[in-house]
Structures are given as structure tokens and as C-alpha cells.
Amino acid sequence: MLATFQNRAYKRAVADRLSGTAPGCEVPAGGKAQKVLHRALFALMGRLSKIDGRVSSQEVDYATSVMQLLDLSPRQRQEAIDYFELGKQLDTDILLLVEELVSYIGRDSELARLFMKVQLRLVFCKGSMRLKEKMLLRDVAEVLGFDKPRFLEFCAEFHGGHQRYYGPTPRSSGLLVEAYNTLRLLPDARNEEVRPAYLRLMTRYHPDKLNQENLSEEAMREAQEKASKIRTAYEEICDARKMRA
């Protein structure tokens, strides 16, 4: 019973983060479900990234942003990297990993849909979907409980521009990736998600909000530095998207 409750809370938190509903919510320990999700998620990302023969900087940056969004610990980040590398190996049965994931999240579930969309964002971060990528994702979609029309609907969301990728440019990839990570956003977050994410963090870290907590001088200084970093990240993203800050 405890394990069931733990898994339910974990899956709810992950869904909230991936969907953007609550990108800053705390993610509780998820036990086996957490390991299975991370393994399938990052292994498939590794396979899709390597399927054309090379892994691009955009794909690495995107995978890093997903790790940040899921609030992975240093140990979990290393595991995610290992899973990414595992997926790049042709003898890794990706569909078997996805089948195991389905036993924890269910077919045609909210997490299954978000899992598909994370992978589609990865594919389209380079601009278009190749035939090999489409064939693999079609098989993955079927395992997750989505028929061909549903899969094509998912693809259309991205190919049609409804989910435009706002990933880093070669000139400023490091700055933008760090900015998205700071605001706990994925690079393809919608414009209307940016300012709310910024305000949520500023509400939490702005020194004026912490004055009533009688923090030490060092703690206040750290809060000021954090608030400054959040503001800089927000301005960086707004500038890249040509939005008004």
C-alpha cells in the first residue's frame, strides 16, 4: 500500500513538471517506477539522438534540460547519462524498456502522452523528423497505447509549429540552456509559460520576501544572488525570443 501511494505521488509530480503545470514542485522518491521511467526516457533519447549517426549539441542540451526539469540529483543525472549511452547501443532493446515502463504508468495515460511529447521535442529540436526516427517513435507510440492517428496528431503539434522549439542557437547555447534550467523550463516552453515561471521563482527568492524570516546576512546575500540570476535568465530568454521582459 505504501509503495502504491509513493508511486502515485511520484508520477503526479513528474507529470506536473513535464507538463509545465508545476515545474518547481518537489519530486518525491519514486522507487522502482522512478528507475524504470528514467531508463526508458533517457535510453530512447539516446537512441533517437544517435539514429542519424551523430549526437548534436542541440540534443545534448535538450536532454540536459530534461534532467534539470526533473530535478535529478547528481547521482541520478549520472544514471540518466548512462541510460542515454545505453540507448545509443544498437543491441539495446528500446521497446522492451518502454514495455516495462507501461507496466508502471499504464497505456494511454497522462505520463505516456508526456513521455511521447518529450521524445518528439527532442526529434524536432533539429528542425525535422527523419524516417528512421518516425518509424521508431511509431513503434514506441503503439506500445504506449496510441494508434497511428493519435501518433500523427502528436507529430502535427510539433511539425505544424504549435510546439515551436526555442532551443539554443550555436552562438549562445550555453547561456540559453543555463537560463532555461534556472527558470526550470524546457527550451520549447510556450511564450506564455515564461513569465509565470519567472514570477514563481522571484516570489520564492526575492530578498524583499525574505526580510520577515530574519535570515542571516549570508543567507540574504545568497538570496540576492539567486534573485539576480533568475532575473538575468528571464531577460536572456526574453531577448532570445524577442519578447518584452
Taking alpha carbons only, the member of 27, 30, 31 closest to residue 18 is 27
Element (H, E) at 127: none
pLDDT, position 211 = 62
Taking alpha carbons only, the member of 49, 130, 124, 127 closest to residue 86 is 49
Pick one of 1.25.40, 3.30.410, 1.10.3680, 2.20.25 as the CATH number of 2-159.
1.10.3680
pLDDT, position 138 = 96
Q: What is the mean pLDDT of the chain?
A: 82
Amino acid at site 229: K
> How far is 241 from 243, CA to CA, in rounded Å?
5
Confidence of residue 6 (pLDDT cuts 50, 70, 90): low
Residue 86 has pLDDT above 70, yes or no: yes
Task: Report the Cα 23 to chain-centroid distance in Å.
Answer: 10
- Sign of the CA dihedral running 82, 83, 88, 89: positive
pLDDT, position 79 = 96
Q: Domain boundaries in the chain?
A: 2-159, 190-241
Contact between residue 67 and residue 80 where contact means Cβ atoms under 8 Å apart: yes
Range with the poorest average pLDDT among 115-129, 174-188, 231-245: 174-188
Residue 227 has pLDDT above 70, yes or no: yes
Q: 223 vs 113, which has greater pLDDT?
A: 113
Q: 23 vs 238, which has greater pLDDT?
A: 238
Cell readout for 113 is 502522452
pLDDT, position 143 = 97
> How far is 226 from 73, CA to CA, in rounded Å?
19
pTM over 0.75: no
- Give, rounded to a whole angstrom, the gap between the first and last alpha carbons of the chain: 47
Residue 20 has pLDDT above 50, yes or no: yes
> How far is 50 from 38, CA to CA, in rounded Å?
18
> How far is 142 from 150, CA to CA, in rounded Å?
10
pLDDT, position 68 = 84
Taking alpha carbons only, the member of 36, 77, 65, 7 closest to residue 183 is 65
> How far is 122 from 133, CA to CA, in rounded Å?
10
Residue 9 has pLDDT above 70, yes or no: yes
Highest mean pLDDT range out of 3-17, 18-32, 158-172? 18-32
Residue 159 has pLDDT above 90, yes or no: no
